[in-house]
Amino acid sequence: MNDETIKTLEILQRLNTDLSYDMICKVSDEQKIEYHKKLGNFLKYNFMKAEDAGTLKNLNSLKGKSLEELATYLLKISGDLFVVKQNLRTTTNEIDQIFIPTQKARVLIANGIIDKRYELFLGECKNHKKSIDVTYVGKFCSLLLTNQIKLGLLFSYHGISGSGWSEASGLVKKFYLHKEKDEDRYCIIDFSKDDFIAVDNGENFLQIIEDKLRALRFDTSYIQYLSKHPAELQ
């Protein structure tokens, strides 16, 4: 580990987590302009009618490509932490995106600055005309289990279906809870239009994901609902 890396780690460890993420994910003015452009295309194609694109097939292609380009670019400019591998085929599945940590990210993970789940994670881009349903989320659960990868990001326009414990939202929570220890749990993060816009407005990727991981953890925590048995109170 060189002197510059050691100095950076010392600074980050003295700061609170939010400010650390701001430092890690600092984006240049040029990158902000390019991101805004890609976000604009993503939003435009989702408002476009099929006849304006020539055919429905052309429109679906434009929508899908704009989402993949936006998600990939977001990860590339988020602190130079991840190498993005796209459209990889295994013997059983095709994976939209695999995110592999750079040396910088591995140092941050090893020192507890960013979550260990960033050691390797998957991304899937689904730009459907409605929310991603429970069937597809179930397939994504299976993909993570098969590859023993603890973090998966679902990029979309509308997000996943349901709320609370219903539909796809409920399945994400149940999937998280099927392992007892937090470090063994599988996390699916819903990253939709509003999150992409939040980045454009100055939020950073790591903080958004951390907030969503925290929300998943607390939404599924049963400790708050436990009360002492009358015999324990005697």
d(CA 6, CA 2): 6
pLDDT, tens digit (0-9, with 9 covering 90-100), for 58-88: 888 999 999 999 999 999 999 889 999 887 7
d(CA 182, CA 214): 11
pLDDT for residue 1 is more than 70: no
| Mean pLDDT, all residues of the chain | 85
Report which DSSP code applies to 156: -
pLDDT at site 13 = 63
**What residues does each domain of the chain span?**
3-220
Element (H, E) at 98: strand 94-101
Reported as a pLDDT band with limits 50, 70 and 90, residue 9 is: low
Q: Choose which CATH entry (3.40.1000, 3.40.1350, 1.20.120, 3.30.420) describes domain 3-220.
A: 3.40.1350
pLDDT, tens digit (0-9, with 9 covering 90-100), for 195-218: 999 999 999 899 999 999 999 988
pLDDT for residue 232 is more than 60: no
pLDDT, tens digit (0-9, with 9 covering 90-100), for 80-134: 899 998 877 766 677 889 999 999 899 889 888 888 999 999 999 998 889 999 9
Q: Helix, strand or coil for residue 116?
A: helix
Spatial CA neighbour of 135 closest among 99, 115, 162, 95: 162
Q: What is the pTM of this model?
A: 0.84
160 pairs with which residues across the strands? 132
d(CA 76, CA 72): 6
